[in-house]
Copies of this chain bind each other. A is one copy, B any other.
Amino acid sequence: MTGHEILPHALSESVVLRRATREDMPAIVALLADDQLGRERDSITEPEDMEPYLRAFEAIDEDPAHLLVVVVLGSSVIGTMQLSFLPGLARRGALRAQIEAVRVASSARNSGVGNQMITWAIGEARRRNCALVQLTTDKRRTDAHRFYSRLGFVASHEGMKLAL
């Protein structure tokens, strides 16, 4: 399905942010697994382990309310995130942008790529007339809180989860 976003977007001469494709999925799942908190939740040991991710990719990709992006350096995926654009009644019927599943490859950390990704997401949210950008981050990721605070996010809410 076509979204409304203006992509691909060059973050620098060699780094491009673009819509993810099905072919990016192994690299994206590897990024999810290459993470202190995601290692047990998202490791791939058998080929069939990819199937639930591919089904989720189809659901995201076919719904214009969701946008999964990757950041590539040459042919390497070095970052990913999902944006969702959610209608709601509160705050005078404001559309919200929600950012989920932000990952930057360990090789690309502290290079400014994460900052460029979130800055792009904020711009895209503004372009779609969202009144708010929201995300939750695990309280154990203290570096992430500082990172988002520097970008203007305020930790005003408790993020509560119930696993089923």
Q: Measuring CB to CB, which residues of chain A are less than 8 angstroms from any residue of chain B?
A: 28-29, 32, 38, 41-42, 49, 52-57, 59-60, 63, 65-66, 68, 82, 84, 86-95, 98, 100-101, 122, 125-126, 130-139, 145, 148-149, 151-164
Contact = CB atoms under 8 A, between A and B. Distances in A.
Main secondary structure of the interface of A (DSSP, over half): mixed
Given A89-B32, A93-B53, A159 B158 contact: yes
A61 to B, nearest CB: 9
Nearest to A87: B59
B162 A155 contact: no
Nearest to A56: B93
B157 A161 contact: yes
A88 to B, nearest CB: 6
